[in-house]
């Protein structure tokens, strides 16, 4: 198993087994190795293996049957919009493509902004961009993102197509998310979102409004996201 600092062993085991299922190493109906075999393969304890298998069960990747073992199911694929890995990190082997509907642009904050703004936010203004994300050529996620326009030189010239915003911020600006708030609703798509996601106006979508605070004082990340979860569940690791 690849060792990753600060990630609990059971989470790494979940990630490796999930990747094996996503990549077809284990197919629907296959039995995963027994708990004993997993303990030997990953040099860990039974309690850690069982914790990982419970995580895979909760994600819909396996069904555990007494006397048989862990059987691979056929889950909808997970979207990582709840986590800091974002969609790019959560899709795995699937084909992710992006339409940049609005390139990063420096502007004033909208008057009816969806989160309260600090005096610092208002003073610096924001960088706004909008993306439509596709998985296997199907539109799944529309996102509008606002960054406090503070200490982000040349950000508007960077490519955001098929790239993680969090990775870009970390790589070029050493910005990391420290804490945040997420508000989530289930709402009808409506005319505009329905057109973007190619669904009926009455089709339910997940609407998330998010504020993330970073290790750079005064730099915040705000997002408004609409997600069609008909074929994909929302996914996160804790």
pLDDT tens figures, 137-174: 889 999 999 999 999 999 999 999 878 898 899 999 99
pLDDT of residue 233: 66
The DSSP secondary-structure symbol of 109 reads P
pTM exceeds 0.75, yes or no: no
Give pLDDT < 70 ranges for the chain: 1-6, 74-95, 232-238
List helix spans (H) across 153-204: 165-173, 190-197
Domains and CATH numbers, the chain: 9-72 (1.10.10.10), 77-234 (3.40.1410.10)
Helices 46-58, 35-42: axis angle to 10 degrees equals 110
pLDDT tens figures, 68-93: 899 998 655 666 665 545 555 555 54
Residue pair 166/147 in contact (Cβ under 8 Å)? The answer is no
Burial class (CB in 10 A: 0-12, 13-18, 19+), 57: middle
């Amino acid at each position: 198993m690849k060792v990753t600092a600060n990630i609990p062993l059971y989470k790494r085991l979940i990630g490796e087994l999930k990747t094996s299922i996503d990549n077809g190493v284990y197919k629907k109906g296959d039995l995963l190795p027994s708990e004993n075999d997993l303990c030997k393969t990953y040099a860990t304890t039974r309690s850690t293996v069982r914790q990982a298998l419970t995580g895979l069960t909760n994600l819909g990747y396996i069904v555990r049957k007494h006397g048989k073992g862990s059987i691979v199911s056929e889950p909808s694929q997970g979207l990582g919009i709840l986590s800091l890995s974002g969609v790019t990190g959560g899709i795995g082997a699937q084909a992710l493509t992006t339409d940049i509907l609005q390139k990063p642009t420096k502007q004033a904050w909208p008057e009816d902004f969806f989160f309260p703004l600090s005096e610092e936010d208002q003073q610096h203004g924001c960088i706004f961009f909008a993306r439509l994300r596709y998985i296997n050529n199907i539109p799944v996620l529309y996102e509008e993102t606002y960054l406090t326009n503070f200490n982000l030189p040349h950000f508007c010239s960077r490519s955001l197509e098929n790239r993680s915003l969090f990775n870009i911020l970390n790589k070029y600006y050493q910005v990391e998310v420290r804490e945040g708030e997420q508000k989530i609703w289930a709402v009808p798509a409506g005319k505009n979102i329905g057109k973007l996601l190619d669904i009926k106006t009455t089709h339910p979508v997940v609407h998330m409004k998010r504020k993330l605070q970073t290790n750079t004082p005064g730099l915040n990340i705000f997002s408004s996201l609409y997600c069609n979860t008909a074929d994909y569940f929302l996914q996160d690791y804790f």
